[in-house]
Structures are given as C-alpha cells and as structure tokens.
Amino acid sequence: STAQIGVTGLAVMGSNLARNFARNGFTVAVHNRTTARTTALVEEFGHEGAFVAAESAKEFVDALERPRRIVIMVKAGDPTDAVIREFAPLLEEGDVIIDGGNAHFEDTRRRERELREQGIHFVGVGISGGEEGALLGPSIMPGGSQESYASLGPLLEKIAAKAADGTPCTSHVGPDGAGHFVKMVHNGIEYADMQLIAEAYHLLREVAGYSPAKIAETFRDWNRGRLDSYLIEITAEVLAHTDAATGQAFVDVVADAAEQKGTGRWTVQIALDLGVPVSGIAEAVFARAVSGHADLRTAARGLAGPAAAALSPEAADAFAAQVEEALYASKIVAYTQGFHQIRAGSEEYGWNVDLGAVASLWRGGCIIRAAFLDRIRAAYDARPDLPSLLADERFAEEIGAAQEGWRSVITAAVGAGIPVPAFAASLAYYDALRAERLPAALTQGQRDFFGAHTYRRTDREGSFHTLWSGDRSEVRTD
C-alpha cells in the first residue's frame, strides 16, 4: 500500500483530478467501473507521475495507505450511492471517502450520517472550474469533519488553484453538507452573474446599437476595472469570435435557448425553503427557462412593443458607461443574496461557515473568480457578523454612486422593450431593503381581514386582530 490518495471514476473530471494529484507528487491509485478507462489513463498520462492502476475495488483499496483517502468522481445521484455501497464494506474505521461530484447537499448529509456509524469520514466536496480546473487547479469546497480535513487538507491545498496572493483556493467549509451547499450557491451566483452580463450585452446591442465586436471591446475595457473577472473575460472572447461557416458573429448563429443542469434551480429551491430572497439568482434561472420555451415565444411573437429608437454615438457611449454601473450594482446584490443564503444555511444546519473564507476560496480556479471577491473577504474580515454585504461601508458607497445610472439603464430598457429581469429584480431588492416603510403593512391588513391572521402594531407590543365583519374594533390576541 503505497498510494496516498485514490480516485475512482475516471471520466473527464476524475482523470484530470488524478493527474493533478500525480503532477503534484502524490502517488495516486486509479480505478473505474470500466477498466478500459483506467488503462487508457495510465497509458496516456502515466509519465506525468506515479499511478497505481487497480482493476478491482479490492485491489484499489489495498493499494492505499491508511487512513485511506478515496475520491469518488462519478455521475452524481444513484451512481455515487452504488460506488459507496461497493467500497464501504472494504474500508476501515478512520478511512475517508471524498465525493467530488455535484451532489445535492441533502444527499451528502445523509451519506455522512450513514458512514459515520461505520466510523468512516464522508467528505462532500464542491469542485468548481470544469475540466481545466480539475487538471490545473480548481476551487475546492470541502465539507465533513474537522478530523477528515486534517488528513485531507494538505493534499487539497496542493492541487487547488492559488489566488493572486498565493493562498490555496480551498479551506474547510464546515461539517457534512456545508461544502456541497456552498458549491450550490456558487453555481447560483454564477447563473446570476451570467444573466447580468447577458442583459448588459442585450442593452449594448439593442439600445446603444453596438456591434458584437464593439461590445467585445467594451467588455475587455470593463475587465480592466472593478468588473475584472473570468466571466467578463470569456464574454469578450465569445463576442469577438466569428463563425467560420458563415462569417457572421458567432453569437448571432447560436440558438438563443439557454440550457441548465440544475444547480441554479437547487439554489432557488433551497432559498425558498430557508426564506432567503435570492431574487437575482431566481430571475437568472427563470430567464433560461423563458428562453427555452419555443412554444410560448412563437405564440407571443406578434405582440405589441415600442419602436426601436437609435442613440447618437455620444449618447450610446454615455449609456454604455451607465450599463457598467448597472452591472456592477446588480452584481453586488447577487453576491449579497448568495452570501445571505450561505449564512442562513449555516445557521439552519449548524455549520459555522466563515463567509470571508468562502469569498477567499472563490478567488481562483472557479467560474465566478473575480477581483471583486477580495473586497467581499475584506468586508467580512472587518466585520464577521456583517448582516448583509450592503451594510459594508465600501459596498454601500459604491452602490450609492452607481444607483442613478442603474435606474436610468432600467428605465431605458423598459422604454425600449428589452427584458432586464435580473437588473430590475436587483434594484427592487435594493430599494426594498432601504425603504423606510414597505407595503407589507397593507398585506398584513388583508391577511387579517380574510383569514384573521393577526398583525403587530408599530406603537405597541403584542399581536392584534380587527373584527372586520363586526364592529371593526380591535382585540388583542396574545
């Protein structure tokens, strides 16, 4: 038994992760249900490091030093349970099973509980960065026991991406499902970021009248400022790309129906359960759904809308600057909502997640990596109990400075008939939170009227009900 770590499930993610471990000097046992994949991996990449190819589960387990560390990289869901059922009987107390797939955190909680009874540490790990990240350094979000992290952490820190300051983009997130929960919210934020960028593009195209090439330039420019991020960078690349077959802009030949794998949807479902308003993320998920409904879109095609009005080149450039403000302000809201959800999950499940550390481990390797995350980390470092990112002085100042442009952009979008659901939902969230009074008072009155649901008063303690169908006097109900 010489291998320090084992990887089972050698499709693209598992292979690349195994190679990453090997390239970093670890001896890696590799295994796959279909042995051909194991053989192919070692044949093609065996020169990169020390691999031990195992045909059977028993061989695999025997190749590992103790306590064993086994990474499962198979299709999420039933296949993960099947692999756990196969390996668990072969393992001993203190061994660690690591699930690097995109598991739902509730599944991770269940698996952790079941394996704990057997004395096995189960570590649900969120991994972001796609294929390339798995090979060159992903952002890694491990859950599980503190003890498991003591054994696993040093290996993960070696293979993880490094932030600009050299810090590894991984740290122990919290017990059981915490890592997969944080990965889920990461993906939700990714949906919001992408939708906000899409709305900015749409406005630059339809209101400013910019060409895709000009918009690519604009994004490149923005990428040198506060919006500096991987997603802005690749947006410029995609927009600058020309389709070889037609000579047209690539973005004009791609079908405009966005697909999804489900982690954005999970984020919203869980947010609803926790009562956390993640309206920006929800609008992003719904926007993809709307784009995919060809039937509804065809049926609505002839509906009336405003006539297009072109802006002068100077007005277009001024408008583009406001779009940058709208994008930045909405982005602050998306992260505010996402971090609120992590805090709520952490409280609900007793995870004690350090929000600043989460911002820190997203700084490299993952899809939402951005200069912006340094600021979020700084905000939580300064005030770990920060109730909301909007309560941070610097973010408050920045969003305050952007709000005029943000409003103008949304007004222009409404006037021009361009849908900006995520921009608009983000602004509504901002305005709702800063409002002195909300119409929720009226909602409470209605609820009391039709359902005697009671209400609280602004001037006295207690809960009250008005006898709406009687003499309309008020009674105290508590």
Which parts of this chain interact with ligand NBP (CB under 6 A)?
A: 9-14, 32-34, 37, 73-76, 79, 82-83, 101-102, 127, 130-131
Q: Please report the DSSP string for 312-356 in residue order.
A: PHHHHHHHHHHHHHHHHHHHHHHHHHHHHHHHHHHHHHT----HH
To the nearest whole angstrom, how small is the minimum distance from the Cβ of residue 127 to ligand NBP?
A: 5
Residue type, 126: G
Q: Please report the DSSP string for 31-96 in residue order.
A: E-SSHHHHHHHHHHHGGGS-EEE-SSHHHHHHTBPSSPEEEE-S-TTHHHHHHHHHHGGG--TT-E
Token digits of residue 253: 């030949």
Residue 180 near residue 210, CB atoms below 8 Å: no
To the nearest whole angstrom, how small is the minimum distance from the Cβ of residue 403 to ligand NBP?
A: 36
Give the Cα separation of 468 and 466 in Å (integer): 5
Residue type, 463: S
Antiparallel, parallel or unpaired: β 139-142 and 455-456: unpaired
Give the Cα separation of 25 and 23 in Å (integer): 5
Our CB check for ligand NBP shows the closer of 131 and 348 to be: 131
190 labelled catalytic: yes
To the nearest whole angstrom, how small is the minimum distance from the Cβ of residue 196 to ligand NBP?
A: 22
Q: What's the distance, Cα to Cα, between the start and end of the chain in Å?
A: 68
183 labelled catalytic: yes
Our CB check for ligand NBP shows the closer of 194 and 204 to be: 194
Residue closest to ligand NBP when measured from CB atoms: 101
Our CB check for ligand NBP shows the closer of 2 and 56 to be: 56
To the nearest whole angstrom, how small is the minimum distance from the Cβ of residue 64 to ligand NBP?
A: 18
To the nearest whole angstrom, how small is the minimum distance from the Cβ of residue 83 to ligand NBP?
A: 5
Give the Cα separation of 291 and 421 in Å (integer): 13
Under DSSP, the state recorded for 245 is T
Which of 44, 58, 157, 183 is labelled catalytic? 183
Q: Please report the DSSP string for 107-146 in residue order.
A: HHHHHHHHHHTTT-EEEEEEEESHHHHHHH--EEEE-S-H
Q: Which residues pair with 121 in a beta bridge?
A: 96
To the nearest whole angstrom, how small is the minimum distance from the Cβ of residue 53 to ligand NBP?
A: 14
Token digits of residue 333: 């809201």
3-class secondary-structure state, position 229: strand
Our CB check for ligand NBP shows the closer of 184 and 370 to be: 184
Which of 43, 65, 158, 190 is labelled catalytic? 190
Our CB check for ligand NBP shows the closer of 60 and 319 to be: 60
Residue in this structure with the two tokens 């889920």, named with its chain if needed: 184
To the nearest whole angstrom, how small is the minimum distance from the Cβ of residue 154 to ligand NBP?
A: 22
Token digits of residue 165: 């300051």
To the nearest whole angstrom, how small is the minimum distance from the Cβ of residue 367 to ligand NBP?
A: 9
Q: Which residues contact 421 (CB under 8 A, 6 or more apart)?
A: 195, 199, 283, 286, 287
To the nearest whole angstrom, how small is the minimum distance from the Cβ of residue 404 to ligand NBP?
A: 39
Our CB check for ligand NBP shows the closer of 190 and 448 to be: 190
Give the Cα separation of 182 and 169 in Å (integer): 13
Antiparallel, parallel or unpaired: β 5-8 and 69-72: parallel
Give the Cα separation of 388 and 278 in Å (integer): 13
Our CB check for ligand NBP shows the closer of 101 and 124 to be: 101
Our CB check for ligand NBP shows the closer of 127 and 215 to be: 127
Q: Which residues pair with 125 in a beta bridge?
A: 142
Our CB check for ligand NBP shows the closer of 5 and 127 to be: 127
Antiparallel, parallel or unpaired: β 463-466 and 474-476: antiparallel
- Cβ atoms within 10 Å of 226's Cβ, excluding its own: 16
Give the Cα separation of 96 and 89 in Å (integer): 13
What are the residue numbers of the active site?
A: 183, 190
